[in-house]
Amino acid sequence: MAKVSQRVLIVLFGALGDVTRALPLAVRLKRSWPECHLTWAVEPKSREILQLHPAVDRVIVFERGRGFAGYVDFVKQMRCEPYDVVLDLQRHLKSGVTSWLSQSSKRIGFHRRNAKEFNWIFNSATIPEYPQLMQKLDHYQKFGDYLGLQTMEQLEFGIEPSVEISLRAEQLIAAGALARGLDALPAARRAILILGSTWPTKFWSVENFSELARELFLRRGILPLAVGASSERAFLDQMYRLDPALPVVDLVGKTSLAELIGVLAAARFAVGTDSGPMHLAAALKKPVISLWGPTSPLRSAPYNNESLLLQSPLGCSPCYSRSCPGLDRLCMRSIPAEAVLARVSQILDV
């Protein structure tokens, strides 16, 4: 086993969902090597979750919007300290080059058959090959196995909102409810609606989300809270146009990443598509009803929520395409609100 004083660099620039699923590896590193110093290289969109994480000592941010100049500055920051071990969790060319530029002699990446864009060329060692459809979260854990870290029966993500963030989340929920003429209700009577994703093909339908919201509120006494990035604003506006009295609290584009964690923690369960907030909700140990069309839950189902997922019955699913070839997201629209409500009963009627 390596010395506990090791300086470790994790290279994972990826989306929020990827970074969230790699957090248990950070927890495992610190549990096995309490004296190690852990640095994480990331892009701005996931910076905040790492800056708040107790296992991460330093965050280096690649300002992607600045292009090559931003990358040069990022590399300079990265090379301000030596690294005994680099873990390349990204598996792409950019992360491979970054791993190599770290100047560490021990750079561990994915096996050649699991990597892309000649990534494996830049690392000095690789973890064994594993099935491509293995859960990405488990794939990250193979790096811990390779290093001989202590195992965890149940993975721990190490995130929870601070008291300050929890209070801020309650203020946002109360203000959003008031704006819709609704009572904020206690946390046990709230549901999170995760409206979208970075892929247009992953969106459920406006009609289904609206039906689900009405049924939750009128028949179950559950207040729906809509969350998402500003890019999901048009989707929520369509829901309001379909039903101006729709009982949904609008938090879309109104939370920081830390505040989103606070909002997710202040609800009973979440419903949504394959996205970063979906994985965050699972990391906070919330029941998550996940909806699957263009992507596969075999690779990305939210942790400990496999029994609540709903997969499209269409034969073209999963296609892993960001644009639907003339079918108007039929795979997602084929998942009815009634099926989601049945999963809600699984959660509430236990």
> pTM (2 decimals)?
0.93
CATH, residue 95: 3.40.50.2000
71 with 168, same domain?
no
- Whether 198 and 343 map to the same domain: the answer is yes
Compute how many other C-beta atoms are within 10 angstroms of the C-beta atom of residue 124.
13
Q: How many CB atoms lie within 10 A of CB 208?
A: 19
Cα separation, 145 vs 123, whole angstroms: 18
3-state secondary structure of 310: strand
Domain boundary, last residue among 146, 175, 207: 146
Burial call 186-204: b when 16+ CB within 10 Å, e when fewer: eeebbbbbbbbbebebbbb
**Mean pLDDT throughout 171-186?**
97
Indicate if 49 and 105 belong to the same structural domain: yes
Q: Are 90 and 78 in contact (CB under 8 A)?
A: no
Structure tokens at 189: 């009577």
What is the extent of the structural domain holding 177? Answer: 163-348
Res 325 pLDDT > 80: no
Q: Specify the pLDDT at position 217.
A: 97
In a domain, 113, yes or no: yes
Segment 93-151, tens digit of pLDDT: 999 999 999 999 999 999 999 999 999 999 999 999 998 888 999 999 999 999 999 99
Could you tell me the two tokens for 220? 């179950």
Contact between 49 and 157 under an 8 Å Cβ cutoff? The reply is no
Residue 318 has pLDDT above 90, yes or no: no
The string of pLDDT tens digits covering residues 261-292 is: 999 999 999 999 999 999 999 999 999 999 99
If asked whether residues 142 and 170 sit together in one domain, one would say no
Number of domains in the chain: 2
**Domain co-membership, 82 together with 172:** no
Query: Based on the domain organization, do 128 and 199 belong to the same domain?
Result: no
Does residue 157 sit within a domain? no
Domain boundary among 88, 112, 146: 146
Q: Considering just the CA atoms, what is the radius of gyration of the chain in Å?
A: 21
Strand 288-292 with 310-311, pairing? parallel
Q: Give the 3-state secondary structure of residue 215.
A: helix
Token digits of residue 341: 């409500």
Q: Are residues 194 and 128 in the same domain?
A: no
Per-residue b or e along 67-80, where b marks 16 or more CB atoms closer than 10 Å to that residue's CB: eeebbeebbeebee
Q: Are 284 and 160 in contact (CB under 8 A)?
A: yes
Residue 2 pLDDT > 70: no
Q: Whole-angstrom Cα distance, residue 50 to residue 274?
A: 21
Question: What are the residues facing 226 on neighbouring strands?
Answer: 193, 250
**Cα 172 to the center of its chain, rounded Å:** 22
Considering the domain architecture, whether residues 130 and 167 belong to the same structural domain is answered as no
Q: Is residue 152 part of a domain?
A: no
Q: Please indicate, yes or no, if residue 2 is contained in any of the structural domains.
A: no
Q: How far apart are CA 157 and CA 133, in angstroms?
A: 22
Same-domain check for residues 46 and 176: no
- Whether residue 140 is found in the same domain as residue 61: yes
CB atoms within 10 A of CB 22: 26
